[in-house]
Chain A
Amino acid sequence: MNIIVVGLNHRTAPVELRERLAVSETRLPEALARLRRWPGVMEATILSTCNRVELYAVVKDTEQGFESLREYLISVAMASTTEEISPYLYSLDSAEAIRHLFRVTSSLDSMVVGEPQILGQVKEAFEAALNQKATGVILNKVIRKALSVGKRVRTETGIAENAVSVSYAAVELAKKIFQSLSGKTVLLVGAGEMAKLAARHLVSAGMQHVMITTRNFELAVDAARRFNGMPVPFDEFPREMAGADIVICSTGAVSYLIHAHDVQQALHARRNRPMFLIDISVPRNIDPKVGSLDNAYLYNIDDLQGHVDKNLEERRREAMKAEELIHDEVGLIVKWIKSLDALPTIRALRRKADDIQRLEVDRILTKLGPVSPRQRQLVEELAAAITNKLLHGPLVALKAEADAPNGTLFAEIAQRLFELEKDIELPANDDPGHAAPPEHPGEQVRP
């Protein structure tokens, strides 16, 4: 028994392939049911987002499990050959599979490290699997743990702090100049995509008034309609600038459009209320001298990019902390799974031996005919001594190896040697409202 994952993500596979494998929310129940029918799959969850498709499963046999999950994906993609998909897939098992899930949930594996959506996506995938009863005791515990680790990473490390896009960095900076953006006005000079994106961020951060000017006035009118803003004729905008708290400039002009004296005048008219000027055009459209005016804060594309880079760097530093946190948590859960593996094996072995012993004692006693209680006791003791002595070694080894790296292997070997496969009783399914298994499951090994 092992926990495995087979999947592909934005780093390993092109979007065309990810699309083909993606499972929509409505088709998820059916997909889960189908996956569960594949040979050897005991528990399963499907995580499908725009950046990844991953199948998590608890399987009887690791290799067979990998095979099943791969074949399932191939059937979903309707690929004609294995080669078409296999190169894009990664397959992980045991601790590596769990670590992967924890890293995914903590958004360490995301395109933008620290992005917030993935935690909810994992939660939804898990809920879908729960509804389909596709998961069991192991995946339930592991995924719940992944969600709590994901939350801890968000709250205990700075991985999700600070803007990581240029347009959002502009909002972050604006908030260091203006406490509240409501009632503030932004002037867009040129309606480039990045400027519009920044304006959209500003509006959703509470900014209410948008003025737009473009050389082609009709474009301004058109863009203004979308922002519920006001178009400004291009040759009038330097005068209108006094009304703008934030100016975002992104045009294709090859010379400066906004000069120091324009801003000086605007500041004077504003009675020195601060202005935040963002120049995201290349070549620059705002004279750098503006930056040295009192109460004017000028940031160009490089400054914003520097902001973003620094934020990303900070996130990476925080990601290291998250990796450590995950490392510890993986250790704990792996130990739990292993002990879970040894425990039913030990029980099954013990039960099988007891059954054989009782059967054989009964058989020999009927053959012997009437015996004295003393003789009967001796026969029973003989049988018990043989089984106990014979089992002593295997049981001790199983218990001892429960926490060792190849504990699963030992349990597996014992199960094959003693033909225990049919006798293994896995713990009953853990229902969602049920209390989680103990944190230090090593204690469960005690037979």
Chain B
Amino acid sequence: MNVVFFEVTLLFYLVGTIFFLGQLSGRLEEVPRSAFVIAGLGFFFHTLALVSRMIEAGHIPLTSLHEALSFFSWALVLVFLVVELRYRIHILGSFILPMAFISLISAAALPKEIQALAPIFRNMWMHVTFSLLGTVAFAVAFIAGLMYLIQEHLLKSKHRTPLYHKLPALDFLDDLNGKAISFGFPLLTLGIITGALFAEFSRGSFLNWNAEQIGALGTWLFYLVVLLGRVTVGWRAKRAAYLTVVGFAGVIFTLLGVMLKGQHPFV
């Protein structure tokens, strides 16, 4: 059943992506209402897919790269729907939905089998959930940063493209960026702590300096600096936007690199 829900979701996200990308290029200010309904329906089926998979598996479905990517995509759309309902920044959908779709279609291309878990891995889900939610927050920061840099460029060059009209104010984007980092950083911290505890528990050592752990620590340090820089010396606005855009590229690179190489215990 979860496969059917998954495929329905994929279809909705595809159509939603097409709608929202149409808005990016189109002259029209308004996104058709149907685009939000489609995103909402997609999210609904996605939730069903996750829940039914959990029931079938008998544990939280975060044990394979397929499941991780699907959860990542789900959380992204959740963030979009919440921000949309609260602030009506339609253009956000044009950035988030394609990202959610790419993540989900990548998940679709990976082995979907539900994996039987050795009892020792039963408590892994905390580590994975925290790390993934942190990544979602960094993804939102990345999108806010990207939108900031585009709008910044348009304002400086005094070009008024349709995009200029649709993008929100600079300080809103900077604020969103800052909030996303302040959410993401503690989540990542928790993810790393639970991961280290788990490593201690299963392998007898907190840290064994593999590529994944180095990547995670590097990411953690990077965002720590970004966050501290914002709070103390005013690394906000354009600099924060740059850092989060570059930083997220690093996150994705490490995450995918490590996971695809299969060094992570459960992959």
Contact = CB atoms under 8 A, between A and B. Distances in A.
A274 B170 contact: yes
Contacts, number: 51
Given A271-B233, A271-B236, A272-B236, A177 B170 contact: yes
B235 to A, nearest CB: 7
B238 interface: yes
B160 A274 contact: no
Interface string B228-242: 000001111111000
Interface stretch (B58-66, B128-136, B151-159): B151-159
A179 B168 contact: yes
Interface string A274-300: 100000000000000001001101010
Contacts of A239: none
Interface stretch (A58-66, A113-121, A252-260, A302-310): A302-310
A272 B237 contact: yes
B169 interface: yes
Interface residues of B, number: 20
A299 B151 CA distance: 15
Contacts of B200: none
A175 interface: yes
A316 to B, nearest CB: 16
A273 B171 CA distance: 8
A186 to B, nearest CB: 15
A178 interface: yes
Main secondary structure of the interface of B (DSSP, over half): helix
A307 B238 CA distance: 24
B164 interface: yes
Candidate in A177, A179, A270, A303 with the most chain B CB atoms within 10 angstroms: A179
B172 interface: yes
B171 A178 contact: yes
A177 B233 contact: no
Interface residues of A, number: 21
Contacts of A307: 160
A176 B156 contact: no
Contact of B170 (A176, A268, A270, A299): A176
Contacts of B155: 173, 176-177, 297
A272 B239 contact: yes
Contacts of A270: 234
A297 B160 contact: no
Contacts of A178: 169-171
Given A176-B151, A274-B171, A291 B237 contact: no
Given A177-B169, A178-B169, A303 B239 contact: no
Contacts of B160: 307, 310
Interface in B225-258: 233-239
Contacts of B172: 179
A315 B237 CA distance: 33
Given A297-B155, A306-B158, A176 B164 contact: yes
Interface in B185-232: none
A425 B238 CA distance: 75
Interface in A160-203: 173, 175-179
Candidate in A176, A294, A303 with the most chain B CB atoms within 10 angstroms: A176
Candidate in A178, A291, A295 with the most chain B CB atoms within 10 angstroms: A295
Interface string B170-190: 111001000000000000000
B229 to A, nearest CB: 10
Contacts of B171: 177-179, 273-274
B255 to A, nearest CB: 30
B156 A297 contact: yes
Contact of B234 (A177, A272, A291, A310): A272
Contact of B237 (A175, A179, A268, A274): A274
A176 B148 CA distance: 11
A28 B219 CA distance: 75
Nearest to B242: A294
Nearest to A173: B155
A306 B157 CA distance: 13
A69 B65 CA distance: 82
A248 B234 CA distance: 24
A294 B239 CA distance: 9
Nearest to A181: B169
Contacts of A175: 169
B225 to A, nearest CB: 16
A114 to B, nearest CB: 16
Nearest to A270: B234
Contact of B236 (A177, A273, A310): A273
A119 B41 CA distance: 41
Given A291-B156, A299-B158, A273 B168 contact: no
B156 A272 contact: no
B181 to A, nearest CB: 16
B174 to A, nearest CB: 8
Contacts of A177: 155, 169-171
A287 to B, nearest CB: 16
Contacts of A173: 155
A309 to B, nearest CB: 11
Contact of A176 (B169, B233, B234): B169
A-B CB proximity, top 4 nearest: A271-B234, A179-B172, A179-B169, A272-B234
Interface of B: 151, 155-156, 158, 160, 164, 167-172, 175, 233-239
Interface of A: 173, 175-179, 268, 270-274, 291, 294-295, 297, 299, 303, 306-307, 310
15 contacts: A173-B155, A176-B170, A178-B171, A179-B168, A179-B169, A271-B236, A272-B236, A274-B237, A294-B237, A295-B237, A295-B238, A299-B158, A306-B158, A307-B160, A310-B160
Given A173-B155, A179-B175, 14 more contacts: A176-B155, A176-B167, A178-B169, A179-B172, A271-B234, A272-B236, A273-B171, A273-B236, A274-B170, A291-B156, A295-B237, A297-B155, A307-B160, A310-B160
